[in-house]
Structure 1
Amino acid sequence: MLSYQHGFHAGNFADVHKHLLLTLLLQALNRKTKPWSYLETHGGRARYDLTSAQASKTGEFQAGIARIWQQPAPAAAQAYLEQVCALNTEALTAYPGSPLLAAQLAREHDRISVMELHPAEAEALKAVFRQDARVAVHHRDGYEGVLSLLPPKPNRGVVLIDPSFEVKQEYADLVQFVSKAYQRWSNGCFAIWYPLLPAGQWQRMKRDLAASGIRKILCAELEVSAADGERGMYGSGMLVINPPWQLDQTLASVSPWLVEQLQVERGSGTWRVDWLVPE
């Protein structure tokens, strides 16, 4: 949706959940010397100013990254927090979106392709990576753009799928895209973020993906409050197709700490890590 701008939400609890997991995926790729490809369907502007009018208006980062960025953290969260600290000195003024996290963790021969349809966001994205030959920014529809690049070269890596979910149709569109993308790149890792909202549209999306025939789908969900009322995001979910070895164990070890730090009130948060579809 062209009306959506992530600057209002950058660094919130869902970003923390999503980007910590993404960092774990990229770390796993870096354990081998072979280069990798990173592709993203909805890139945003890559670097977010937390002192901007957008971030100040909502203040969502105060209940997200601000709670943990200089706090003691388990080993599994260290690399993610290091990427945030790389943009900040004493005060928390900037937050790295997923394209910038990927670029910070990428090596010389790794390749990054990011899609962004919003004109202003695409221009900001291009400005961040203008001098980085490893990163290609595409001002185009994310699903169409990523599909056109599959299978990528190098032929190992991850696709991050992170739409705004402003309309119900986006859940069905995502399932359709993932099915097509998996057919073209069955050995790729696909990371899918979704909001936990009272309307529960994400539950149908999960059922449809579970029935798609795709195997090895890991599910990680984080709730920071109870699902009260009719509106408002109370949690963050991630599905990972073809996850790296022992990612489920790593997420199970770090999620209790995340809940403790990010829950709205003591005892209001919960987490789960399980297999939506096993191998």
Structure 2
Amino acid sequence: MLSYRHAFHAGNFADVLKHSVLHYVIGYMTEKDKAFSYIDSHSGAGMYQLLGQYAQKTGEYKEGIDKLIKIKNLPQLLADYVSLINELQEEQKLTIYPGSPAIAKQSMRKQDTAQLFELHKTDFDLLSQFCSQWRQANIQNKDGYKGLLRQLPPPSRRGVVLIDPPYEIKSDYQHAVETIINGVKKFATGTYILWYPVVTRSYIDKMAEDFIDSKIRNILQVEFCLNPDAEKYGMTGTGLFIINPPWKLKSLLEESMPVLKQHIGNSSTQSIVTQLVAE
């Protein structure tokens, strides 16, 4: 279908969770001098203009990063993420929001490489412009599911994989899980981050069941739901499955989720941080 444009949703509550985790994981990888690879299956445009027509049409960022960025004394996971967002702004005003490639680029070093996939032609062109001076990035206008599997294992044998599909079609739920299962068979020590929207609970339950049945070890699940599950169409929450997470990530999320509820959520907001599969 390829009608999805993340520019409408950049900086929303789902991005806050996804990108705070991604930023921490990338930072964790840089604690060792050895190079690593970042592989992004659905990269989007790279950078988004919050004052542009798309973000202004929905205003979703106003209920996400715009609220969080004003809060003082945040826990480490959120404070480091907000610091990154602030570094990118001009005149201390929130005008742009980084997509996942830009989040990664801020922390990656000369020895690290990025493999970025994006099928939407318009966003691919924007991504190419964003990456024009990023020599370590390889951008491809190809299917990210297939593309990332071809990159495994990376030459460095260290890597972070982000799968962040738009879920325009229902098969994305199963396809994303299967891609990670196949990826782990090729590269068992990588860190894999799978984002999902909470729209239909049965799809999420099936994803979790498939991961458990796969016999993959060390899977962390985090979920942040603004509102209770609903039968009608619409995203009520957001979540991540994280395979081989950094050892401190679970505790950092546990201290961060109440803060997200307080400043972004409401009285109906719920969250979970659970070790879906033990190490």
**TM-score normalised by structure 2 residue count:** 0.96
Once the two structures are superposed, the pairs formed by residues 76-91 of structure 1 within 5 Å of their partners are 76-88=77-89, 89-91=91-93
**TM-score normalised by structure 1 residue count:** 0.96
**1:8·1:60 contact (CA, 8 Å) conserved in 2?**
yes
Question: How big is the shift at 1:22?
Answer: 0.7
Question: How big is the shift at 1:31?
Answer: 1.6
- Equivalents in 1 of 2:181, 2:209: separation in Å? 13
Question: Which deviations, in whole Å up to 9, do the C-alpha atoms of 1:195-224 show, x marking residues without a partner?
Answer: 111453121111111111111100011111
- Equivalents in 1 of 2:240, 2:249: separation in Å? 12
Q: CA RMSD in A?
A: 1.2
**1:223·1:259 contact (CA, 8 Å) conserved in 2?**
no
Question: How big is the shift at 1:275?
Answer: 1.0
- Equivalents in 2 of 1:12, 1:104: separation in Å? 20
Gaps of 5+ in 2: none
Task: Tell me the equivalent position of 1:75.
Answer: 76
Once the two structures are superposed, the pairs formed by residues 119-130 of structure 1 within 5 Å of their partners are 119-130=121-132
Cα distance change, pair 261–200 in 1 and its aligned pair in 2 (3 A): farther
- Equivalents in 2 of 1:106, 1:157: separation in Å? 12
Question: Which deviations, in whole Å up to 9, do the C-alpha atoms of 1:143-174 show, x marking residues without a partner?
Answer: 11111111112211210000011221111111
Structure 1 vs Structure 2: percent identity of aligned residues? 36
Question: How big is the shift at 1:39?
Answer: 0.4
Question: How big is the shift at 1:178?
Answer: 1.1
- Equivalents in 2 of 1:161, 1:15: separation in Å? 13
Structure 1 counterpart of 2:114, which letter?
I
- Equivalents in 2 of 1:80, 1:275: separation in Å? 23
Question: Which deviations, in whole Å up to 9, do the C-alpha atoms of 1:67-98 show, x marking residues without a partner?
Answer: 01132122221221122112213321100001
- Equivalents in 1 of 2:53, 2:31: separation in Å? 39
Worse-superposed segment, 192-201 or 41-50: 192-201
Task: Tell me the equivalent position of 1:204.
Answer: 206
Gaps of 5+ in 1: none
- Equivalents in 1 of 2:76, 2:7: separation in Å? 28
Cα distance change, pair 199–78 in 1 and its aligned pair in 2 (3 A): closer
- Equivalents in 2 of 1:224, 1:194: separation in Å? 14
Question: Which deviations, in whole Å up to 9, do the C-alpha atoms of 1:12-69 show, x marking residues without a partner?
Answer: 0000010001111112112212111110100000100011111111111111101011
Give the SS at the match of 1:174. Answer: helix
- Equivalents in 2 of 1:245, 1:233: separation in Å? 30
Q: Pick one of 258, 261, 272 that aligns with 1:259.
A: 261
Instruction: Give structure 1 regions of 4+ aligned residues with deviation exceeding 6 angstroms.
Output: none
- Equivalents in 2 of 1:137, 1:158: separation in Å? 16
Once the two structures are superposed, the pairs formed by residues 1-279 of structure 1 within 5 Å of their partners are 1-72=1-72, 73-88=74-89, 89-263=91-265, 265=266, 267-279=267-279
**1:14·1:235 contact (CA, 8 Å) conserved in 2?**
yes
Residue correspondences, number: 277
- Equivalents in 1 of 2:155, 2:140: separation in Å? 16
**1:111·1:154 contact (CA, 8 Å) conserved in 2?**
no
- Equivalents in 1 of 2:11, 2:166: separation in Å? 15
Worse-superposed segment, 23-32 or 43-52: 23-32
Give the SS at the match of 1:200. Answer: helix
